Amino acid sequence: MHDTVTPSRPIVFGEVLFDHFPDGKRVLGGAPFNVAWNLQGLGVRPLFLSAVGEDSEGTAILDAMDSWGLDDRGVQRLNGPPTGNVQVSFVDGQPEYEIPAGQAWDSMGKIDSSLWSDSAGLLYHGSLALRSESTRESWRHLVRESGLARFVDVNIRDPYFDESMLGELLNGAKWVKLNDEELHRLSDVAVTDQSSVVAGIETLKSRYEVHNAVVTCGSQGAYAIAESEILFEPAPSPGVMQDTVGAGDAFASAIIAGLASELPLPQILAGAVRLAARVCGLHGATSADRDIYQSVFE
């Protein structure tokens, strides 16, 4: 990124795992990990908080983080639960995920407060890691003690999504990211055009204390609904399409990177859909190809 403002440092909390694809390939993933990886690629140094097992896949994740320059001080190494694994399948071109229980990121312990003492940025988290009581308590402690503004990626993964937690998840969020289907589910407003997106977000705001929102609409593009702006950015063509795994995470990471660098919201939104389209040209969510992060906001 080529900015005059030194980006504030975000904290990213949640799952890290290997996505296993039908062709036998495995790719590093987990929505929060994807966001942290992309932030590092964009030149914003996040602190990633998660857990891996004392196994070969845990070692592989820590090695990959080290090679990418990602700070791994917040990744707990646990003796017992295995490092995260997910089986990815595709139905009509859309990914579906089989996520076993009892993975390392389900057993996160209390986080050392000294880790976030130098952060003044956003706290990113989703909802999947909150399926277990142990990690949920770790998250609650982090939210309470850090006092950071939150960027919440709703990221519904049934059957693990606990709607009884919606108030705790969304209330007070500075930014909320969801896709059109998630907005429909949480607002009961069918999303078909800009007016319905705005109506859905207004309904969400009437139910929860949400300040700003971004809504992704697949190949159509994305919306940003801030306190004084309503923006739409059409999605560029991804060129050669591989899969959509991680596209939403790339979008979220670019939004966070733009906010951290205090860029104008139209420029941020344009960069976010640009990076999401580039990730659709990858197999899986993460890549060590730094070229995909070049000129995202230009």
| CATH number of the CATH domain containing 119 | 3.40.1190.20
The pLDDT, as a whole number, for residue 246 is 75
Residue 122 inside a domain? The answer is: yes
What's the burial of 137, exposed, middle or buried (CB within 10 Å: 0-12/13-18/19+)?
middle
In a domain, 2, yes or no: no
Residue 5: inside a domain: no
Q: Tell me how many domains the chain contains.
A: 1
* pLDDT computed for residue 285 by the predictor: 62
92 domain-assigned: yes
Q: Rounded to an integer, what distance in angstroms lies between the CA atom of residue 281 and that of residue 277?
A: 7
DSSP states of 106-124: GG--PPPGGGGTT--S-EE
What is the per-residue burial (b if ≥16 Cβ within 10 Å, else e) of 238-277? Answer: beeeebbbbbbbbbbbbbbbbbbbebebeebbbbbbbbbb
Q: Within 13 A of 173's CA, how many CA atoms are on the CB side? A: 26
* Tokens matching residue 110: 């209390």
> Residue 252 belongs to what domain range?
11-293
At residue 49, the pLDDT reads: 97
191 lies in some domain: yes
Residue 40 to residue 287: CA distance in whole angstroms:
12
Backbone angles phi, psi at 191, to 5 degrees: -95, 115
Can you say how many angstroms the Cα of residue 213 is from the centroid of all Cα atoms in its chain? 14
Task: Specify the pTM.
Answer: 0.92
Q: Is residue 205 part of a domain?
A: yes
Domain for residue 82, yes or no? yes
- Note whether residue 248 is domain-resident: yes
Question: In this predicted structure, what is the pLDDT of residue 2?
Answer: 46
Positions in the chain short of pLDDT 70: 1-6, 118-120, 238-243, 245, 283-285
Estimate the crossing angle of helix 180-187 against helix 194-207, to 10 degrees. Answer: 50
- Residue 22: DSSP 8-state: T
154-198 pLDDT per residue, tens = 999 889 999 999 999 999 999 999 999 999 999 999 999 999 999
